[in-house]
Structure formats: structure tokens, C-alpha cells
Amino acid sequence: MAITVLIVDDSKFFCKRVGTILNSASDINVIGVAHNGREAIDKAKSLQPDVITLDVEMPIMDGVTALKEIVKVCNAKVLMLSSLTYGNAKITLDALDAGATDFLLKSYESLTSNSEDLIKLLQSKIRELGQAKTFRRAPTYKAPISKAQTQVSPQAVKPLASRNTNASYTAPHKAPKKSYKLLAIGASTGGPVALQKLLMPIPENYPYPITITQHMPGTFTGAFASRMNGLCQLNVVEAEDGMSLKAGTVYVAPGGKQMVFEGTANSARIRIKPTTPRLQYSPSIDITFGSASKIFSGSVLGIILTGMGADGTEGSRLLKSCGARIWSQNEASCVVYGMPMSVTKAGISERELAIDEFAPAILKEIR
């Protein structure tokens, strides 16, 4: 059965062109078009499509406002279409938190030039979302605030272990079961929300650095890091070339580039390298995990979260061959059970966990 699609955009040219591209695939059927958020809500309710492509910026009602109503009347997977600006990146991340499944960069130039790459990308993205799961929940995001603003006088500070937080960690008095130097995480479709759930309970005195390799374009990774920094107890930054890895800091690989490491396990630095056309993903989980295996050897806990495809499998294989541990997200909690399935079927993943189980398991692992 064909995947049914509702296209929502204020540009008639865009709707017509996207409709032509999608309808050229035998397994995709565009069943409706809407030109503003209000019309999108009505058509989503009446047509009940499998997938909705939703523009961020529209008259009468914008995409995010419309999305919040669409998720109440329709169980469709929603693909946000956004231009490559920092402002739109922040709005798109809000949309993912409000119930959108994924996003795609909007390019009138590529549509006009009849780019084969864009045609393949758009059709494959719709197929991917046609197979994805829909998770609806109340938004959890609040505007980022400076961590310095939350500081109080030393006399008022309680030991972290006694604070009323989602989770607390007290440095162990005895050596952990396994010696770690790095927590490395890879994610794709569904990753921004999954990472939020995984990292928010981790306390600020987590004793190792954490790296995130999330498939995301360049402008978006900076906005994503800023958003996560406002949500997490940990310090979250977009990785820059030459940064030293520090305990309790999360480093988000910049989009459009590759993140690798140099130095030693006890004194490692991040190197940001240009990507190459032969690599499907930038950043690539395989590249980052593979580099981690050379610097940190077996002192890594690698985690593969929700996402399409198999990126991370070979990098995880290299890590595991050095003695590292690999965990993966279970099918029930994945938006797309692709990357986790790949490492599991390959016999690389040692544990499959629901997304809400990762933080407690990580903290227990290092005790």
C-alpha cells in the first residue's frame, strides 16, 4: 500500500514540485495540499495521511503552531521543512519537541534545478517516515538559561548527591567494574528527543566526557547544543577544533564536518575535519567511533540510538574489538529501528535498553 502524504507550504510552486517528485514514486501518493497552518489542521483531520511535510514559516498560522494542533487530530509522521538559518534551526528543534518526527532542509534552488540527489533524498525520507513510529508527548523544552544564573552562595549549596534532581551521582569509593574514559553516543532520526531523555537525568559531576554524533546540518548542531545546554545539568557545547575533552562536558559534533580525536586517552583533543563526498553522513558515527577506538581503545561506552540505516555499526565493531562496550536502543522506544538493529544483528551490542533506561544504567555502570 502506498504511503499517503499531505504537503503543507504557502508556495504553490513548492507544493506542485514536491508533489510531482513524490508522485513519481509508485509507493508514494500525495493526497492533499494545504497553504497555511489552519488549512493544514483541517486537512490533516479529514485526510488522515501517513506523512505530512510541514513548512516552518507560513501566513495565517506558522508550522509549529499548526503542528501542536495537528498532533491532536492526526497520527501522521510530520517532516518539518526548514531553511538553513540559526533562527529556523531553533524553531525546527521546537517542532521536534512538539511532536514532529524529523526535518529536511528546504531548497528552492535544488527544486528548480531538478536535482536527482534531492529527488532521491525526499523520496527516501518519506519512505523512512512511512515506516517510523509516532511518539506523542507534552513538550519539555524551556528556553536555555546560563548555568551561572542558577548558582547560589556556597553556604546554600548542598552536596550534589543530596539535591532533588532526576538522578544523582556520587564518585565511587572503589574502582568501577570497568575503567572508562569516554561515553560516545550516535543518533539520527528521532535522536534530538532521545538524547534529551538520555542526558537530562545525568548530573553535572559525571566523571567522563561525552560526545554526541547526531546526523544534522551545520547550523542546526549549534542550536541543538545550545538547547541541550539549557536543559541538562551537564555542560553542552558544539565541538570546536582543538578542544580538550573534559569530564562532565558534552561535545556535539558539528554538522557538515567530521569529529575525530588525537592525543592520549588521558589527554585527548577534538579535531574537526572537512568531510568528503564518499561519506554519506557528516558527521558520521562510524568516523567518530573509529577514531575513539584508536585513542581510547577499550575505555569507551558506546551507545547507538534511533536512526535509519547502519551508520555506527563499523565504528562500534572497531570499538568492541578493542574491548569497549556497546549498548543500543530497543525497538519499542525507537522512532526508526535501523542503526540499533544493525549493531544488534551484527552481534556487537551487548545490551538493548529503552530510552528511559539509559541514564540509570549509565550511572550504575560507572559506580
The residues assigned a catalytic role are 188, 215, 311
C-alpha grid cell, residue 153: 552562595
Question: Comparing C-alpha atoms, which of 350, 347, 306 is closest to residue 326?
Answer: 350
Coil, helix or strand at residue 31: strand
Asked if the peptide bond before residue 283 counts as cis, ω within 30 degrees of 0, the response is: yes
What are the distances in angstroms from CA 315 to CA 79, 148, 151, 186, 348?
29, 37, 39, 10, 10
3 state DSSP class of 68:
helix
Whether the link from the prior residue into 340 is cis, omega within 30° of 0, is no
Reported residue count of the chain is: 367
Alpha-carbon distance of 340 to 79, in angstroms, equals: 22
- DSSP annotation string for 293-326: HHHHTT-EEEEE-SBSS-TTHHHHHHHHHTT-EE
And the C-alpha cell for 35? Answer: 497553504
172 Cβ contact list (under 8 Å, min separation 6): 366, 367
C-alpha grid cell, residue 200: 537530562
List beta partners, residue 34: 8
Cell of 115: 536535482
Between the CA of residue 259 and those of 180, 214, 256, 284, what are the distances in Å?
A: 20, 11, 10, 8
Q: What percent of the chain is helix, strand and coil (3-state, nearest 5)? A: 40, 20, 40
User: What is the spatial distance between Cα 28 and Cα 125, in angstroms, rounded to a whole number?
Assistant: 11
